[in-house]
Amino acid sequence: MGKALGFVRHATAYPFLAIVLLAGPLFAKRAAPEPVAPVSYGGIKYSAPNDDGRIEYVQASDSVGKRLFRIKVFETKIDPSLEEDVQWVFIAGLKVVGNLLWVKDEKSRCYSINLDTKGVEKKTGCWAFSAGRN
């Protein structure tokens, strides 16, 4: 009889443990993205506002801070069956190399923006962000 009671005591703990383990992800919200330092080229300041993890863009401003234009860099497709905020991807770095603005996201994917044509291209590597590159 003692073994049977021991099983009952443990059996009542299992539902509580399951609730605790399954409820954890419900409260998991992603942290705010790290601020990204702006860069300048040709008198224009380029920044990553990081205000929407679904559509990321670079914003161009003049010397007094007036917004000139925005360039969409990438869009994150959201799976409706998953928590939305944990799927967001933000811009993590900006770097100017020649007339290209390199953009690196939180998943280490890179894009380049031709600052003359404003064309965006997804890159296969992030050599512009490698150590020692200025």
Residue 133 lies in a domain: no
pLDDT score of 21: 43
The whole-angstrom separation of Cα 101 and Cα 116 is: 10
Residue 134 lies in a domain: no
Phi-psi region at 9: left, alpha or beta (left = phi > 0; alpha = psi -120 to 50): alpha
CB 73 within 8 A of CB 91: yes
CATH of the domain at 57: 2.40.10.480
Question: What is the domain range of residue 18?
Answer: 3-128
pLDDT score of 130: 84
> Can you give the pLDDT of all 134 residues of the chain as single tens digits?
555 555 555 555 455 444 444 444 555 578 889 999 999 999 999 999 999 899 999 999 999 999 999 999 999 999 999 999 999 999 999 999 999 999 999 999 999 999 999 999 999 989 899 866 65
